[in-house]
Amino acid sequence: MSSYSQDFPPNPNDPQQPTRQSSSGMKWIIIIVATVFLLGLLCCGGFGLLGYVGLKMAGSQIQEQIKNDPVIVEEIGEIRSVSMSLNKTTQRANEQPDGEQVVVFDIEGDRGSGGLVGEQGAGGQFSRFRLEKDGQVFELSQ
């Protein structure tokens, strides 16, 4: 005598049927890809933040160094901001025939704004500043 359950196929609506489990391999692939993506995002963000903080620190140091210079006081006034201009620095570096390393800062004060050009010497220190404002060049006494 044959069993009743063997004569008919299993009922798909029967809650007792074992459910098919999703592939655990696909889960691991998604987890690994997501982890690599997040780590890459954190690294890029971290380096970006370090670069931003470094540029802000350089601007603050330059501001302290030149704030009492007579040319700055006369032409710029009280300094509101000093920030390194990467575009102008790159452009200026391409124009330098002798390989002189210059850095350009955008400077803004209550009497005007301009470009502050400094030579980068040994140890990364900036020296020999000149202010470029309205087509004129002013040597600073630093």
Mean pLDDT calculated for residue range 107-132:
83
Asked whether residue 2 is assigned to any structural domain, the reply reads: no
Q: Give the number of domains in the chain.
A: 1
What is the reported pTM? 0.63
Query: Rounded mean pLDDT of 104-120?
Result: 88
Position 14 in a domain: no
For the chain, the first-to-last Cα distance in angstroms comes to: 109
Residue 1 lies in a domain: no
Sequence-ordered list of residues with C-beta below 8 angstroms from that of 120, at least 6 positions apart, any chain: 101, 102, 103, 126
Mean pLDDT of the 23-40 span:
89
What is the share, in percent, of the chain residues with pLDDT greater than 90?
A: 10
pLDDT value of residue 37: 93
Report which of residues 3 and 52 the model is more confident about: 52
Task: Please answer whether residues 140 and 66 qualify as being in contact, where contact means their C-beta atoms are separated by less than 8 angstroms.
Answer: yes
| Residue 7 within any structural domain of the chain | no
Q: Give a yes or no: residue 64 inside a domain.
A: yes
pLDDT of res. 6: 63
The pLDDT of residue 15 is above 80: no
Flag whether 5 is in a domain. Answer: no
Q: Which domain, by its residues, includes 65?
A: 23-139
What was the pLDDT predicted at 99?
65
Helices (H) and strands (E) in the chain, counts: 4, 5
pLDDT reported for residue 39: 92
